[in-house]
Amino acid sequence: MKNNIFGKTTLHMAMALTLSSLNTGPVSAMGFFDTEHQDSVKLKIESSNRAPTTDRSAELLTAAEPEIIELPDKINRVFAQPNDANDKVYYSFTSTRGQKVMIYNMRTMAEGPDWNVEYKIDGEWIQVPTDHSFISSELVPNQKVFMRVSRSAGKRVVTGDRSAIEFGSAPYVDSGKTEVSGDYQWFLTYFPAHLFKHQLSWRSRITDSKGHPLAGAVVHFIISADEDKPHKLVTKEYITDASGFIIDSMKFDECIGKNKTPPFVLDPKYKTKWKATYNTGYWQLAVRGNSTSDITPSTLTQLCSATPIR
């Protein structure tokens, strides 16, 4: 019985092979039996050659995101060196207290196109021209402001050149914390404030728009002891620390007064009269990047001589 079954099976195989050879050419018995196996292998190979099912657009978006340098809570000096107009360097600053933010694009070349500086708060990128300072309005606390820097089209490449930008909280002079005083107090009843003879002292505090002490602000204290000698104008430059304060003093030589007072009395209780010679000048306080916060020039008086009249 078994032999009959085997014989029938063999006959069926032979017929199948014969028909197959007529249609497709010679095939082996092993190939015939492995057809299903080959299809399975083929599917596996095709599957291995297919791209992963991960969302490719998400991968491209992630890869396209630029590296952004987060700056600390102060005024920061940024010196970027992008290679060309397509090479952009990105920065961000967080307005922690909702304070106003400043971007001051300082000139680095005497001629020709300079650096391309742009910022973005909510919408499109907006350019900050060279020698200009952008100051935002009050922001939402913890709102970010972004900045990017690239070379302007046509800007020649010079080895070692770099942008110079101030980016951070907008600086303001705290007028209530600004004091200027001299070393001579005797004649303040006759002369206006800011009278000095040999030494002048000053202090001031710089804050952000919320009154928080500001580090990194560049402050200029300008002194003209004699307005008729502009060549002797003195400018002192400071960078504030975390306290926001600048404190300093300056000594002056003896002077020859061009102005003379009429005889005057210091105190009505005394009959002594005085005459004095003096020069007038001015002092001014300016913070870089925000000229609206500068203190306008105030009068200085240097006392050169004082003589009692009997």
242 and 229 both lie in a single domain: yes
Residue finishing a domain among 126, 150, 169: 169
CB atoms within 10 A of CB 305: 14
Residue 8 maps to a domain: yes
pLDDT at position 64, please?
Answer: 56
Q: What is the Cα–Cα distance from 157 to 82, expressed in whole angstroms? A: 10
Q: Tokens 């400043």 identify what position? A: 102
3-state secondary structure of 33: helix
- Bridge partners (DSSP) listed for residue 69: 91
249-to-104, 195, 227 alpha-carbon distances in Å: 29, 14, 20
Can you give the residue range of the structural domain that contains 204? Answer: 172-309
Question: Residue 54 carries which DSSP code?
Answer: S
pLDDT at position 112, please?
Answer: 57
pLDDT at position 157, please?
Answer: 67
Q: What is the Cα–Cα distance from 186 to 190, expressed in whole angstroms? A: 9
- Residue 167 — φ and ψ, nearest 5°? -135, 120
Residue 57 maps to a domain: no
131 and 234 both lie in a single domain: no
pLDDT at position 86, please?
Answer: 80
- Bridge partners (DSSP) listed for residue 105: 132, 165
pLDDT at position 105, please?
Answer: 95
pLDDT at position 244, please?
Answer: 98
Check which CATH number belongs to the domain holding 294 and give it.
2.60.40
217 and 303 both lie in a single domain: yes
Residue finishing a domain among 28, 50, 72: 50
pLDDT at position 229, please?
Answer: 92
pLDDT at position 69, please?
Answer: 96
Consecutive sets of 10 residues in the chain, 310 residues long: mean pLDDT of each? 41 39 38 39 38 40 70 96 83 98 87 82 94 97 97 71 93 96 86 90 98 98 94 96 98 95 84 92 96 94 91
167-to-60, 90, 217, 221 alpha-carbon distances in Å: 30, 12, 10, 22
Q: What is the pTM of this model?
A: 0.74
pLDDT at position 66, please?
Answer: 79
Largest CA distance in the chain: 159
6 and 29 both lie in a single domain: yes
pLDDT at position 113, please?
Answer: 62
Residue 121 maps to a domain: yes
3-state secondary structure of 283: strand
- Bridge partners (DSSP) listed for residue 205: 174, 245
Terminal C-alpha separation, the chain: 159
3-state secondary structure of 109: coil
Residues 135/121, Cβ–Cβ less than 8 Å: no
Which two structure tokens, joined as six digits, stand for 275? 């005459």
pLDDT at position 221, please?
Answer: 98
Residue 258 maps to a domain: yes
Q: Look at residues 17, 15, 14 and name the one whose alpha carbon lies nearest to residue 26.
A: 17
